[in-house]
Structure 1
């Protein structure tokens, strides 16, 4: 990195004698580059390091106007990356605990409770059995038992009257 030194600093004044700006010239001790910038305000009383720092900062702002915006984007990308990594770790830990809980058969009464458990942890809608459906299922089971007891008759057939044989 280049090391800069102050070449000169001079002030510009308004009509009442107040300092408006400070014109600063700095040079690189390694490459010989000279940078001259105008700083708003009085920098004549500042030490050389502060003047060089402010001059470089002003030069970068003039030369790279999107620098601050780019730095903000870089910081946000870094924070987003760290947050994503933390979220991935949390998801993996949660998945491991869900799998462990899922493996214990005593936590579930039947397959429906297992499926409901998975649906809950995967944020998937699991269709619940409604009470009407349960009643319909019971009614169907009763009808099935009745049809087993009665002889099967075709739906179109009508009973035929029979006369006793003598």
Structure 2
């Protein structure tokens, strides 16, 4: 059912703005809003009236939609964190592998007396990390 804006008026009770929405089938749906909204544009009143109908007929739906959206965003963040952790682990493993290969090369150079004790000391290859 599609609603269209029909009219607005202050109700006999000056505390209410009466907005009438109509349907293509000719049905009228009165929606009562606070009186201070009477000066809003017809489009703004139409949107407020639809929001009111939505809230009255589906009171928890808006909240549930918000929670579902937040849940989806949290799941996306969790997935991103998992991917980052996986990449960090891969980098750590590659770093350890390359460090091991580098140490083997340095030890071979040391064994062949290409590097001296002082040079090995300067490189700091065996410092604690």
TM-score, length of structure 1 as denominator length: 0.52
- Whole-angstrom CA distance in 1 between matches of 2:12 and 2:35: 10
* Higher normalized contact order (CA 8 Å, seq sep 6+, divided by chain length): 2
Gaps of 5+ in 2: 104-129
Gaps of 5+ in 1: 109-166
- Whole-angstrom CA distance in 2 between matches of 1:32 and 1:12: 22
1:56 equivalent to 2:50? Answer: yes
The 5 A counterparts of 1:49-128 are 49-104=43-98, 105=100
The 5 A counterparts of 1:34-53 are 34-53=28-47
SS in 1 for 2:39: coil
Matched pairs, number: 102
TM-score, length of structure 2 as denominator length: 0.65
User: Would you say the 8 A contact 1:11–1:42 is kept in 2?
Assistant: no
Which structure dedicates a bigger proportion of its chain to helix? 2
